[in-house]
Amino acid sequence: MDENMPQPTKKVPGAAQQFTAFTPYEPAPSEEYMNPTQIAHFRQILEDWRNELMAEVDRTVQHMQMENVNYSDPNDRASLETDMGLELRARDRERKLIRKITQALDRIKTGEYGYCESCGVEIGLRRLEARPTATLCIDCKTLEEKREKQMAQE
């Protein structure tokens, strides 16, 4: 097994925001950026994360089918509807995240993964490990956030 490949480790709670913990990639000195080993590392992270999210969606569907009970007590019914509403919003966020993960996997296939879609520079290994779906380098992302903040203030 390649020592640079993600190693199975414990799960990180909060699947919608985080993903399975992994062994951080340690590049060799003068290692080429986004070489096949690095690509395999990030592909594995993204696929594992997507699989976790898909499993969570399946669990939610099963849970909602089991909870399809008609409570006679209005308080119980209201509580159940509130819980289901929260659950559906969480699944909607996860659905959007699955789409971003799929787009990142598509960028791996086209050779665009790891490079800023705005300026073309390397996004960086540590940033990609922190946010594997990142499409902007830190400078372009900071600039985008400043613009958004200015627009909100106007």
Annotated binding-site residues read 116, 119, 137, 140
Annotated binding-site residues for Zn(2+) read 116, 119, 137, 140
Which residues have CB under 8 Å from 25's CB, separation 6+?
4, 38, 41, 125, 129
Q: Which residues lie across from 115 on neighbouring strands?
A: 122
Encoding tokens for residue 70?
Answer: 């008609």
Would you say the C-alpha torsion 67, 68, 73, 75 has a positive or negative sign?
positive
Encoding tokens for residue 112?
Answer: 């665009």
